[in-house]
Structure 1
């Protein structure tokens, strides 16, 4: 079966980085509350036949190897069984996504007193209290997979999952980066970096990291196969390139041939951008159509080995702008779908844990996937426009989409602004609009909840991924906003008199987010080197931001989805936050 996998925008992972999490906040426990029959029906109607749920396998199984784990395993399994049964009525399979192993906090004295021999690589995690905003760092210890008891746990837990959840569609395993799990999860054997120091575990440093990862995948697969030949075992190649160049063939060759490889569709792609030819893409992207050379090499290597492949992409929104309903770059959506149409054996997982609202993006991808190619881009896109927006002027809509694509080519696509930029929360961001020298409080990640945003935006332009200076960041967003808003004008004219299905408001808000982001970086640049004479330029920025906010507000009021970021689990901007910001800026302008 070729899987097309999606998920709810509102179902959350739970306490993923908590030192002592309540496992009854895990998604395996809470998901049935989000996946009501109405949503399952809607997912199927939108062309998907699978949903994925985050799992901590030690919480949903109770093994002899580690009897301390899985205190509420029976409750998790009962809830999952009910969801699997209901989803099946709509032709939807449930997939569990997780790491074969998760580390155990050093402070769990009871566990380590009983299993000291299983201790591996020590790592650190940061836990943030969502209410108080207080961050604390704690030590956690990997379960060393070079130890037989740990290997037994991996296989036994997988076997229990297959035995207790026979209707499960599959498991999706991630073995690099993410949370500490096995000893090489965040480590290199040679060539250390800031993010990947050298391995210290005395057992695992004698092994290759890809051997450790392949062994864990194989153990999990063997456990599943004890009870089921039908449950798919999917391994995601996210960040395997930290250990091996793509296609990571030494790792692939160690895997059983019935393991499905899910490969990143865009990562390590190269695109010619204005003023930046040969620019590398190293994240999910709706700017870059893909497939990357890395994906293609992985696809062909797997096919040579007799293994099936599926793609990992994001159809709704990405870190490029993750707090809107969608990024309507239909030019690249069509190209992504076109590759899948010509490779019908390759399924896909079309989302991460944000950007999961249905929109023209999701409809278009599956529409292009299921319709035969016609005479070219314009014809296909105009055909889709006439299908989706009945009665529209498809020529104007097409040219609006062309301008959106042109605008996104100016986005500063690198890890600094993607992970630490203001684009997701700019419309609600107030801390930067206080004239005077910076206070220096960290503003936080673009994709996580932060109680208070400070005014230090330096990670967006000064971290180790420093492809864009602060001046270039502001200029890039200015160009993006200007071109995008020209597209909005065409879209408004093209959709006049027909049901725009929220797409016009969504496009307006994308443009306003880009413009607000530009204003924030310009204000930050002024405050970095503040002097009293800069107050006049600061006033111009405030006036521009007020125009942006008054334009954005009615569209945010009319669509409760806007501003919501699934990974953060809340609305990063909403009507009340925007109104407060407007009042604050107006008060300053009147008093200045």
Structure 2
């Protein structure tokens, strides 16, 4: 296992133990069963496959390897996250059968994965198999008993993970293309993020999904790209290895989309920051350093860098003539130009760029990209995303852009919030607080005054308020947002970031009212369904949102999966990674008082349950021809409730732990067990639950059962304490 030294370590802390398993290696078996081939698990644990099967059987697991290839190809983030506190890097590489170089790339480039993991690798004692002693065997038998009790009341599993990849997901009648000819761009519900064009077998756009998008009125899909992986625009270096294969796969992909009337848009942050060894090829190009990694900009104040970048974009469009266009972020969290957000200092530490207005630097990058795209394909769509442009100079960027560039802004930015008596403001990713907001409205007006067309970036199906379901059934809120955008004359829409790409759900509100959809889907039951929708929408307004802390750090994306602890872990919550028990971070530092934060999640989940009660009452009246639509709605609504209610319970648990109220803690543990069972029942029949494209599966069937083990173990511990 050579070159492990290239893998990041960060400010490492000791790994969290899994005290609900008698032996650490049992946690490895449990979390990887059916995901990592048994031969690899045996190698990791230094045992025979017979010993492995026997150890798994003692916990109630049967041999199950048929989906391992799919998990390693499409669920590698899930595998890495679940083993982050269990396995060393060396063992982890065996589990996913990767080189250190590939893991290093994924940690850096797969949608901030290193950030999501907390910028550190926990210190682990590499677990190894050993036979159980008598006490450990008794504890293991208890695990099996808890498993049997948990599964006894549940329906049999009828939907395996990833089953949705081979199913039609949009059951509605076809929707015609937008009459205004506007952009309807979305991210693939099933696309990998990091380097999807290298492996043609991991098709980011299955034909069934493309047909669903076309039927839903979508006309463009987007995917992330790194220019040097497609075109060696800065010369023949190892960084562009296999670019020919990626281009060949991209050509095939764009041709397939064209057959469905769809175009592909690439999302680029260019030029990408590069590590120290790169600058042996171009020593003069170095700009400023990233503030959290050992990466440096390619300084775009150098005409040579801009010209090479522009030529690279031109080459890309000439090589892939069916490519529809691109959109770019110039002030990204990914370090690009020397004035972008991740530079080490403000003003920038780059001596060239420090002497220049940031608006000029940003506009030059956009224009270099646009010029290259136009030379390669005259009618390419080029969109400049205004994300993080400061109001002090955003107008100065707009006046330097040509009229063939569209300007995109996040619609809901700066919408004021008032939840639980606490004022706040939306950053982005909000459905609970509908836009459009003042920031986008102002910038769209400025852009139009310059003769530039505009695009609204929205989230119609879900957000980080809960991305574990394909869509949130809150059409009242989504319709309110869309009506506000229509009033402003918006005709171009980006419908999702990596989350929310489901080819149905709320995106149908672009073409139909909620009343029309309820009638189409549920016939005579439509009035009751509309009442349920109103309950869900009204309840969701209680989501306590300010900035991004609650979106990124609170537990609503993981729900019942997040484990509970009888004492503080002192781990900080990570962005869409692991909430741990970091209540302070969940509530935005001191922004939401603990009691308000807890109560708003209680009100949210109570109101959501009211909507579920309506659905349960109306279920017998649903006609057989409408049953598929009803089951779809029930699954997403029930799973969303489990996430929101579990978030409330986790907040309450941490607070009761602080108060040493063991009786209340035990009540919460019983409630969490019941929620885990409710979520398992939905998962058994719907492979979409828990999946999000850029994070893969947040949890697995086994990890939700592990939460039950966790709660049962804590109940036994608290019972032994015999307090309160």
- Report the TM-score, using the length of structure 2 for normalisation: 0.69
Structure 2, unaligned stretches of length 5 or more? 1-180, 720-724
**Which residue is equivalent to 1:371?**
none
Name which of 711, 716, 721 aligns with 1:585: 711
Taking the aligned partners of 2:403 and 2:665, their CA distance within structure 1 comes to 61
Larger RCO, structures 1/2 (Cα 8 Å, 6+ apart): 2
Contact kept, 8 Å, 2:190 with 2:205, in 1: the verdict is no
Counterpart check, 1:117 vs 2:284 = yes
The one of 175, 185, 193 aligned to 1:13: 193
Match 1:483 to one of 595, 607, 611: 607
Contact 1:32–1:83 (8 Å) recurs in 2: no
Moved more, 86-95 or 141-150: 141-150
After alignment, is 83-92 or 328-337 more displaced? 328-337
- The change in CA–CA distance for 1:343 and 1:78 in structure 2 (over 3 A counts) is farther
- Call closer, same or farther: CA 1:444–1:179 in 2, change over 3 Å: same
Displacement after TM superposition at 1:123 (Å): 1.0
Question: Which residue in the other structure is 2:421 paired with?
Answer: 275
Q: Does 1:313 align with 2:427?
A: no
Of residues 221, 241, 245, the one that matches 1:71 is: 241
Q: By how many angstroms is 1:497 displaced?
A: 3.2
Q: Name the SS of the counterpart of 2:676 in structure 1.
A: helix
Structure 1's 261 and 497: CA in aligned 2 closer, same or farther, altered over 3 A?
A: same
Q: Is the 8 A contact 2:562 2:580 kept in 1?
A: no
Aligned to 1:84, the other structure's residue is in SS state: helix
Deviations 1:392-440 (A, max 9, x none): 2x2222222222121112111122221111111121122x2x32x3131
1:425 aligns with 558
Q: CA deviation at 1:90?
A: 0.7
Query: More strand by proportion, 1 or 2?
Result: 1
For residues 469-527 of structure 1, the C-alpha deviation after alignment (integer angstroms, 9 at most, x for no partner) is 33322121111111111122123334543220411121122122111011111222233
1:168 to partner: Cα distance: 1.2
Name the counterpart of 1:544.
671
Task: Classify the secondary structure of the residue corresponding to 1:171.
Answer: strand
In structure 2, the partner of 1:59 is: 229
1:151 to 306, 326, 333: 306
**Which residue in 2 is equivalent to 1:360?**
505
* SS, match of residue 213 in structure 1: helix
Contact residue 266 and residue 290 of structure 1 kept, 8 A = yes
1:205 to 343, 354, 357: 354
Distance 1:474 1:311 in 2: 33
Match of 2:408 among 236, 247, 262: 262
Are 2:196 and 2:204, in contact at CA under 8 Å, matched by a contact in 1? no
The equivalent residue for 2:270 is 100
Match of 2:523 in 1: 390
Are residues 169 and 330 of structure 1, via their aligned partners in 2, closer, same or farther at CA, if it must alter by over 3 Å? same
2: CA distance between counterparts of 1:340 and 1:501? Answer: 31
Structure 2 vs 1, CA of residues 567 and 324 (structure 1 numbering), >3 Å: closer, same or farther? same
Q: Distance in 2 between matches of 1:197 and 1:346?
A: 37
Contact 1:123 1:141 in 2 (8 A): yes
Alpha-carbon offset, residue 197 of structure 1: 4.3
Equivalent residues in 2 for 1:306-385, closer than 5 Å: 306-341=451-486, 346-363=491-508, 365-368=509-512, 380-385=513-518
Q: Given that residues 120 and 142 in structure 1 are in contact (C-alpha distance below 8 angstroms), is that contact kept between their aligned partners in structure 2?
A: yes
For residue 89 of structure 1, the aligned residue among 256, 259, 265 is: 259
Change over 3 Å in CA distance of 1:290–1:356 after alignment to 2 = same
Equivalent of residue 334 in structure 2, options 176, 179, 182: 179
Is residue 2:597 matched to residue 1:473? yes
CA distance in 2, matches of 1:78, 1:343: 41
Please tell me whether the aligned partners of residues 65 and 153 of structure 1 are also in contact (alpha carbons under 8 angstroms).
Answer: no
3-state SS of paired residue (1:307)? coil
The partner residue of 2:540 within 375, 397, 408 is 408
C-alpha separation between the residues in 2 aligned to 1:119 and 1:502? Answer: 52
Partner Cα distance (1:228, 1:39) in 2 = 27
The verdict on how the C-alpha distance between 1:100 and 1:66 changes in structure 2, with shifts beyond 3 A counting, is farther
Give the Cα separation in 2 of the matches to 1:142 and 1:268: 30
In structure 2, C-alpha distance between the alignment counterparts of 1:239 and 1:27, rounded to whole Å: 29
C-alpha distance 359-208 of structure 1, shift in aligned 2 (>3 A): same
> Which runs of no fewer than 5 residues in structure 1 stay unpaired?
15-24, 126-137, 189-194, 369-379
Residue of structure 2 in register with 1:562 after alignment:
689
Deviates more, 1:476-485 or 1:263-272: 263-272
The equivalent residue for 1:517 is 647
Which residue is 2:76 aligned to? none
Give the secondary-structure state (helix, strand or coil) at the position aligned to 2:587. Answer: helix
Give the Cα–Cα distance (whole angstroms) in 1 for the partners of residues 432 and 474 of structure 2.
Answer: 7
Larger Rg over CA atoms: 2
Inter-partner Cα distance in structure 1 for 2:421 and 2:659: 30
SS in structure 2 opposite 1:543? Answer: helix
